[in-house]
Each structure stands twice: as structure tokens, then as C-alpha cells.
Structure 1
Amino acid sequence: MSMHNRAVCVFCANPRPIYAAKVQWLKHLASHREAMIAYVVDNFEKCPLGAYPRHIRDKTEYAGHIRWAHTKKELIEWAYRNLIESQMATYP
């Protein structure tokens, strides 16, 4: 029997609880790449994805940094770990 995790996708236009395993969550988040980039740019002064946070003043440059200096996989894993996993309730 697989476990499903209930959480709300903060990037969906009409957020509602989603029941999914981690792999399904990662696939779902992949469709929200630009929304994740916008979220990071709007909510963090320094890039939270790197080992050494880099402060970037210009939002356009910051979005470009997220888009090109980090892989899509890094961004999705970061969003899952920091935005989805923290609100999860696990159901059988």
C-alpha cells in the first residue's frame, strides 16, 4: 500500500488539498517553474538554492540567476522540501 501526502500547492491558481506521493508532487511542481521563480524572487533577498546565498538587487537579474544558475530539478526539490513537505499530513 502506498502512502499519499496531503498538502496544498501554493502555486496553483485555485489552491486545494492534493493527495499524492512524493514523485507525483515533484511532477506536479514541474508545471509551476515560473511561479516558483517568481515566489523566490518576491520572498527572498538572497538566493536560497545555493550553498552560498548570493544577494541580487535587480529582480530581473535575480529571476535569470534562478533560471540559469540552478537546474529545474534543484528548484523543484527546494520547493517540495520547503513549501510542500512542511505542511504535509500523511494518509494511508
Structure 2
Amino acid sequence: MIPTGKVFLISGVTDMRKSIDGLSLIVAETLEMDPFSESWFIFCNRTRDKLKILFWDTNGFWLYYRRLEKGTFKWPRPSEDGAIHITKQQLGWLLSG
């Protein structure tokens, strides 16, 4: 699936035990963004080998999960904004490992 809206990296680390409700709460309350927008929100774990992508599509949430068997994702340190806008091309690079 190709994102139709903006793509945001959520800087810092996220507890990967969180699922749709927990991640959408982070987007709404911590980042003060709308989880029901067409934006994709990408979260990473402490060891930087797992990603979760949350987004809303028409009438429900999607939650993608990616785990690397080797290596780590390059991930930004925590920032004041909390969310970093990236392009769809950068998303492709990120997901390719």
C-alpha cells in the first residue's frame, strides 16, 4: 500500500507492545496530531530492529509491523517536535532496511 497522505517518523523509542489504541493515543495526546488523518505514523523500538506503521484508511486503522533479522534502522534521536516529516521516497529507503 502506498501512502496518500504525509509520512511521519516518531522520534525516540516506542514500546512495541503497544497496538492500535496505544499508538493512536500517542499520536493524539503526545504529538497533538490527528490519528484519523491520511498520514502514516512510524514508530521504532529501542534496539532499532522493529518498526510499526499506523494509519487510518476509510473506516479502520492499519498497523504494519516490520522486523529486521540483521542490522538496524537508522532512527532519529528524540526531538522537541516528536514527529519528523519524511517523503515517500525516504519511506521506501527506510523500509528496505
Q: TM-score, length-normalised on structure 2?
A: 0.27
User: Which structure's CA Rg is the greater one?
Assistant: 1
Larger % of strand: which?
A: 2
Q: TM-score, length-normalised on structure 1?
A: 0.28
Larger % of helix: which?
A: 1
